[in-house]
């Protein structure tokens, strides 16, 4: 998973399909990130903040009891143990540093489950920046706890009432804000989606997940890599960061999409939010609404690099439905004492279903990226389980 082409392509996917008003900002961001990412001082500060404030490196946990139950050896990369509770902090710290480097003091973000919003609000509080987070009304209701956390952290949360009132529409509204504010504002996009350079930049800022896990797995597995590396995919940032650490190994890469929002599995090529990728849409090109209990995966598109990895056959994309996700969440809770967020519970669901089949043969070693913890979903899960 190297650099995209100069026009921001991963194979045939990617690009920068943005209005002229945003083109100079995307070009500036590409230059700024390129320069920062090649600067040791920037790297050092990024790592120092992640270590001192966010609890990196995160451990890899041997899921002993779950492994016994499933007949495959499960390792968990514990992004749920980071400050703010998910991998989102990795990306946000990098982008906040970049915003400061570009002299931008206002930051906007979109959020679905609220994890990216909370992470952005946290970084803005640390850096003394103004923060506005767009969030669909449906998500504001089902992730009320995270809305409150963002407000406590000093961010303004703007509910979005248009369209499906979820992540897709929050991105639309953030882009509309950015069209008007681009000269003073950095758009801190939360996934490997959007126009170039975001898919590349966010993957690079998340590759710390995969790079750490690779070394940790080798220590645990006596120098070997896992047979399977599995992560959930909405836009796909934790998966992209995880896969980046293993793409040049023999490990099989598996992305798990929600059954009601499987852009790679059920979409066709399309262009939304600035890049060409796989997209759920109708025959005319109108973007479909996704449907899943997981606000963080409730997105009809997917990052362009995932579309490319799928087209090349380097990664495969499977799906898990709402019911098996709820079962999986409880399974991990009672076997490992870990309550996962609904998003990585999709991965546990697929591993539980596939274990012992040709898709995941008995005795395999599988690394799961536990992208976030379940506190934010406790109320919703309580309601769903009655």
Partner 1 sequence: MGAAPGALEAHLRSRRDAGRKLLVPYVTGGLGEHWLEAIEAMAAAGADAVEVGIPFSDPVMDGPTIQEASQRALDGGATPLGILAQLEAIHACVPLVAMTYYNLVFRTGHRRFARSLAASGVSGAIVPDVPLEELGEWSRAADDAGVETVLLAAPVTPDDRLAHICERSRGFVYGVSVMGITGERQSLAESAAVMAKRLKAVTDKPVLIGIGVSTPAHAVEAAVEADGVIVGSALMRRLLDGADPDELGALVGDMRAALDAG
Closest to partner 1 by CB, 20 vs 222, is 20
Closest to partner 1 by CB, 16 vs 92, is 16
Torsion angle in degrees (nearest 10) through CA of 129, 174, 3, 268: 160
372 with 294: CB under 8 angstroms? Answer: no
10 with 308: CB under 8 angstroms? Answer: yes
Torsion angle in degrees (nearest 10) through CA of 222, 227, 233, 235: 70
Closest to partner 1 by CB, 104 vs 168, is 168
Closest to partner 1 by CB, 185 vs 294, is 185
Q: Applying CB under 8 A, which residues contact partner 1?
A: 7, 15-21, 23-25, 162-163, 168-169, 172, 175-176, 179-183, 268-274, 276, 279, 281, 283-287
For the bound state, the minimum distance from the C-beta of residue 288 to partner 1, rounded and expressed in Å, comes to: 8
For the bound state, the minimum distance from the C-beta of residue 275 to partner 1, rounded and expressed in Å, comes to: 10
For the bound state, the minimum distance from the C-beta of residue 266 to partner 1, rounded and expressed in Å, comes to: 15
Closest to partner 1 by CB, 220 vs 271, is 271
Report the catalytic residues. Answer: 88, 110, 371
For the bound state, the minimum distance from the C-beta of residue 165 to partner 1, rounded and expressed in Å, comes to: 12
For the bound state, the minimum distance from the C-beta of residue 158 to partner 1, rounded and expressed in Å, comes to: 13
Closest to partner 1 by CB, 258 vs 274, is 274
Let me know if 17 is exposed, middle or buried by CB neighbors in 10 A (0-12, 13-18, 19+): middle
Q: Which of 120, 135, 276 is nearest to 185 (CA)?
A: 120
For the bound state, the minimum distance from the C-beta of residue 112 to partner 1, rounded and expressed in Å, comes to: 15
φ, ψ for residue 382, nearest 5 deg? -60, -45
């Amino acid at each position: 998973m190297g650099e995209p082409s100069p026009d921001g392509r991963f194979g045939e996917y990617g690009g920068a399909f943005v209005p002229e008003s945003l083109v100079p900002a995307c070009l500036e961001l590409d230059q700024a990130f390129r320069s920062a990412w090649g600067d040791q001082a920037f790297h050092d500060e990024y790592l120092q903040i992640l270590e001192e404030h966010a609890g990196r490196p995160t451990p890899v946990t041997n899921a002993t009891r779950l492994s016994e139950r499933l007949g495959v050896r499960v390792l968990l990369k514990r992004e749920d143990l980071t400050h703010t509770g998910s991998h989102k902090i990795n990306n946000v710290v990098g982008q906040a540093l970049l915003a400061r480097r570009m002299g931008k003091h206002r930051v906007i973000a979109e959020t679905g489950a609220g994890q990216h919003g909370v992470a952005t609000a946290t970084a803005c509080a640390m850096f003394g920046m103004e923060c506005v987070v767009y969030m669909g009304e449906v998500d504001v209701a089902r992730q009320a706890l995270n809305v409150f956390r963002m407000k406590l952290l000093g961010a303004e949360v703007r509910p979005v009432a248009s369209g499906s009132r979820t992540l897709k529409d929050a991105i639309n509204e953030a882009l509309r804000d950015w069209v008007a504010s681009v000269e003073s504002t950095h758009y801190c996009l939360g996934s490997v989606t959007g126009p170039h350079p975001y898919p590349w930049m966010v993957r690079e800022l998340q590759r710390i997940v995969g790079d750490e896990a690779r070394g940790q797995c080798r220590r645990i597995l006596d120098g070997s890599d896992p047979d399977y590396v599995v992560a959930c995919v909405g836009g796909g940032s934790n998966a992209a960061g995880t896969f980046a650490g293993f793409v040049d190994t023999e490990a099989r890469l598996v992305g798990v999409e929600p059954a009601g929002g499987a852009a790679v599995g059920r979409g066709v090529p399309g262009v939304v939010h600035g890049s060409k990728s796989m997209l759920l849409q109708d025959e005319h090109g109108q973007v479909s609404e996704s449907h899943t209990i997981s606000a963080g995966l409730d997105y009809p598109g997917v990052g362009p690099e995932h579309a490319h990895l799928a087209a090349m056959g380097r990664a495969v994309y499977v799906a898990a439905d709402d019911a098996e996700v709820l079962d999986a969440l409880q399974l991990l809770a009672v076997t490992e004492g870990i309550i996962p967020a609904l998003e990585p519970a999709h991965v546990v669901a697929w591993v539980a279903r596939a274990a012992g089949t040709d898709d995941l043969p008995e005795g395999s070693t599988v690394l799961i990226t536990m992208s976030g913890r379940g506190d934010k979903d406790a109320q919703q899960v309580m309601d769903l389980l009655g």
